[in-house]
Amino acid sequence: MMSIESLFIPQTLPLKSSSVDKTARKSTWAFLKSPKFQTGPSRIRNFSAKSSLGFENGGFKQFPNGVGEKDGVIIVDHGSRRKESNLMLNEFVAMFREKSGYPIVEPAHMELAEPSIKDAFGLCVQRGANRVIVSPFFLFPGRHWYQDIPLLTADAARNHPGTSYIITAPLGLHELLVDVMNDRIKHCLSHVAGDADECAACAGTSKCKLYGLVDVIKT
């Protein structure tokens, strides 16, 4: 089980950190260790609700600031040696582009595959973006979000001095993710029961099946 502190405090911190970073981490630790932060069910529910981003009355909040015509969006995942996994990011980006209506949306992999963050950043600028929004396709704020993606994005931005950028928060504790996970669980159980085909995530892998003790011993 993931500990509370792992959601807020990166496991590996940059070698160089500002006094602001140190103060923020110290304040977070003080909050987590304070008597005010109780671990009772009601406190956890309230804390989780506050951590959810943009969710209200069963849908998304309408924030006053959004993506403009001169904004480029980069959706970046970790990257994989498995080609099929990388291609799924392209499919998600196409879905995101179509549903959001944003004119400039590009995929990127943090490592192990192309296009890189630098490639995607340059393509956004080439297509007319003067601000690049890097959105990590990650669940929680770990080392990749805190350190690796910022370093790679800063390196990419050096080639485009007239372009600003922002790195958004990862997906985090959003209530809609509960629905996504529950839907995935139900689909897999239906597939195992023979009532549904494999989903796109594991199609052709034969991994979505019911394992028994014999299978565990063989592996």
Query: How confident is the prediction along the chain (219 residues), in pLDDT tens digits per residue?
Result: 333 333 333 333 333 333 334 444 444 444 444 454 344 444 434 444 444 455 555 555 656 678 888 999 999 999 999 888 899 999 999 999 999 999 999 999 999 999 999 999 999 999 999 999 999 999 999 899 999 999 999 999 999 999 999 999 999 998 999 999 999 899 989 988 888 888 777 777 777 788 885 555 555
Cα–Cα dist 119/190, whole Å: 40
> Which pLDDT value is given to residue 68?
84
Contacts with 115 (C-beta within 8 Å, 6 or more apart), sequence order: 106, 107, 108, 109, 123
What local confidence, expressed as pLDDT, does residue 59 receive? 54
The structural domains of the chain, ordered by start, are 4-51 (no CATH), 71-167 (3.40.50.1400), 175-218 (no CATH)
Give the pLDDT of residue 200: 76
3-state SS class at 110:
coil
CB-facing half-sphere around the CA of 3: CA atoms within 13 A: 6
- In 3D, which of 174, 186, 181 has the Cα closest to residue 58? 174
Token representation of residue 195: 């009532």
Residues contacting residue 25 through CB under 8 Å, at least 6 positions apart? 9, 13
pLDDT of residue 96: 95
What confidence score (pLDDT) does residue 4 get?
34
